[in-house]
Amino acid sequence: IFHVKTDPEGRGSSDLPADFDIGISVKGVQMMDSATKETFIPFRYDQIRGLSYDEEKIALTFKSDTGDEHQINVICSSGAEIGQLIEEYIFWLREDACVGRVSEDFEKKEDSRLLVLHKGDIVRVKKTDPTGWWTGYNVDTRKRGLFHKELVEPLLVDPTLITRSERSLTVSQPVNMRGAKRSFFRKKSTVGGAEIGASSLPFSVYAQQYFTEASHSHATNRRHSKAIQEMYSDPWEAASSWQGREIKDHLLKNLPSNQHKKSVEAFGTLLKLMEERKDNTRAGDQAAYAHIRKLTQLGLETPEPRDELYCHAIKQTNNNP
């Protein structure tokens, strides 16, 4: 909960009290009376149409359940924190979405396993796969089958749980988000004719910006089969995904030179840890604990390798077969 003041020069300010609280949770954003904590303007993340902020101000545009568009402009000392927190919720809700809207028609040809899709259909995801071919259920036709993930835009809110008149309001992301920290996480998407972001996979875009060139030079040589190699036509997608062999060099460009060797050793320890977790015996647990202690100690000794270790963990849990 953040205490804010209305920006007297901003749009929509005449409809707001001089000061109030903004509550942010997984359910959405609530404008509340500072004294009673009574909510007077609630809205979900899928209703947000615009978000911009800096250290002292935040501007939110959202569409109500009736279809009316509203804008809120406030002054506060936590503008950037509020904006980034909203973007965090939107990002993770989108990443964890199990429901999506079909973006284009898809007619199955000779494969009976494929799911027939029509633009606007609602699909519930039942099973994902690193190949991009997911198993789902078409809510509109009540059919189940395979479809490619690029044909479906994730929805922050399951439209089957809200009224039919509200379904047109659900979007995968807000428009015109200007926060810098999450800019590289945005996936290419179109909402209301406006293009949002321009990336393939979230972590692969981060890798392209912050990983060394050497981190993907051997990407196509470390896969276990030709079929898996062909899954990653983008070398940065391969560099940011799971691999079963040790890395030859560090990942992050800004890692100090005295940490390069430690990074390679730490990645090897992580591989051993993930392998030990398959052993449910007491000996396996003890070995895994020893690896965890080793990785933890490396991060506690000095702050320099912490980002590197974090990227190791994300990489090995991304597209892990």
Encode pLDDT of 1-56 as tens digits: 888 888 777 655 557 888 899 988 877 898 899 888 888 888 888 888 888 888 88
Beta strand ranges found along the chain (DSSP E): 2-6, 19-25, 28-32, 39-43, 48-53, 57-63, 69-75, 99-102, 122-127, 133-138, 143-148, 152-154, 189-191, 194-196
Q: What is the pTM of this model?
A: 0.45
Higher pLDDT, 201 or 210: 210
Mean pLDDT, rounded, of the chain: 76
Binned at pLDDT 50, 70 and 90, residue 231 comes out as low
pLDDT over 50 at 311, yes or no = yes
pLDDT over 90 at 268, yes or no = yes
Binned at pLDDT 50, 70 and 90, residue 195 comes out as very low
Q: Are strands 57-63 and 133-138 parallel, antiparallel or unpaired?
A: unpaired
Binned at pLDDT 50, 70 and 90, residue 178 comes out as very low
Of the candidates 37, 45, 32, 38, the residue with the CA atom closest to the CA atom of residue 74 = 32
Position 312 scores a pLDDT of 92
Residues 224-243 have a mean pLDDT of 65
Distance between CA 282 and CA 298 in Å, rounded? 25
Contact 286, 293 (CB under 8 A): no
Least confident among 92-106, 115-129, 170-184: 170-184
% of the chain at pLDDT higher than 90: 8
Residues 281-290 have a mean pLDDT of 83
Query: 3-state DSSP call for residue 134?
Result: strand
Query: 3-state DSSP call for residue 37?
Result: coil
